[in-house]
Structure 1
Amino acid sequence: MIKAILVFNNHGKPRFLRFYQRYPEDMQQHIVRETFHLVSQRDDNVCNFLEGGSLIGGSDCKLIYRHYSTLYFVFCVDSSESELGILDLIQVFVETLDKCFDSVCELDLIFNVDKVHYILHEVVMGGMVLETNMNEVITQVDAQSKLEKSETGFSATSGRAVSAIKNMNLPELPRNINIGDLNIKVPNISHFV
């Protein structure tokens, strides 16, 4: 099971964090610092997995990471996960981000955190791997983007309708309508528009 997914830059600044176990915020910060210290001290020509830090599971936990340009992508997993499978999963996640953001960078992760969370939820949810096919993930992300755009169109349409009604030059409506025994009071609609 995946316990956490951490993305931080070369200076240890967190750019994206997802914990699948509950930790207080100060403990999360300690985990990020410890993980950065463990991962950043490693030489580039050694393997990309090591025993987890003392804070996130000790000897039962493994840190599996990849370093791309200025970002470290670290998956903290328990001993039941395959190291090579998680390395491939990191590759799928990064390539999907790269396709969705046209060459992903730190700023994409910072300013589009909702979209990054959505992409991650298509790949991993609740610490369990859902999808490893990058094309399927991209198809779902594109469908979500189309849905968001269509919803934006609906809200813009209703906004235009309200402003059109406001700009209409309507004659003054009568306040009381009497039809035989029926007396109808017409509310003032100017405060509705």
Structure 2
Amino acid sequence: MLHFVVLVNKQGQTRLAQYYEYLPMEERVAMESEIVRRCLSRTNSQCSFFQFKKYRVIYRRYASLFFVVGADEGDNELSILEFIHNLVETFDKYFDSVCELDIMFNLERAHFLVDEMVMNGHIVETNQKNIRTPIDLLDKMS
């Protein structure tokens, strides 16, 4: 089960945060800052996952953004890395080569795409066309 999906930039600023369990805001901020500090301090030769409290943190860096997912300890890290890659590809196709500014200025669209993929902490859709169809319909109506 996924507990959170967070996108942060290289400076450690959160650009998108989606939580699937309740955490008070103070705990979220403290947890995000500690996780980001650990992600930024790791080298390219280190693996892309580590244990943080009760979470298995899996992350991947694309350009200036870190895509960070907190999962259960028993979850398959490689499948979460594939989920992250699929999320990035979906963002790329929707935003035409996604960048940090696309996320910042279209935050509701980014949340909508994540919501189409994950429901209550479980990955429910991986087909990029199925993920983009509802938001494309919304865009046509606008």
Max radius of gyration: which structure? 1
Find the counterpart in structure 1 of residue 106 from structure 2: 112
1:125 aligns to 2:124 (yes or no): no
Q: How does 1:1-193 map to 2 (within 5 A)?
A: 1-52=1-52, 58=53, 60-146=54-140, 148-149=141-142
Q: CA deviation at 1:19?
A: 1.1
Find the counterpart in structure 2 of residue 172 from structure 1: none
Find the counterpart in structure 2 of residue 180 from structure 1: none
- SS of 2:87's partner is helix
Name the amino acid aligned to 1:82.
N
The separation in 2 between residues aligned to 1:6 and 1:117, in whole angstroms, is 11
What is the CA deviation profile of residues 123-149 of structure 1, one whole-angstrom value per residue up to 9, with x for unaligned ones? 111111111122221233322322x32
Name the amino acid aligned to 2:76.
S
Structure 1's unaligned 5+ residue stretches are 53-57, 150-193
Q: How many residues align?
A: 142
Structure 2's unaligned 5+ residue stretches are none
Find the counterpart in structure 2 of residue 177 from structure 1: none
What is the CA deviation profile of residues 9-34 of structure 1, one whole-angstrom value per residue up to 9, with x for unaligned ones? 00100000111111111211101100
Q: CA deviation at 1:110?
A: 1.0
Q: CA deviation at 1:92?
A: 0.6
Q: TM-score, normalised by structure 2?
A: 0.94
Q: Which of 1 and 2 has higher RCO (CA within 8 Å, sep 6+)?
A: 2
Name the amino acid aligned to 1:2.
L
The separation in 1 between residues aligned to 2:82 and 2:128, in whole angstroms, is 11
Q: CA deviation at 1:37?
A: 0.9
The separation in 2 between residues aligned to 1:33 and 1:104, in whole angstroms, is 24
Find the counterpart in structure 2 of residue 190 from structure 1: none
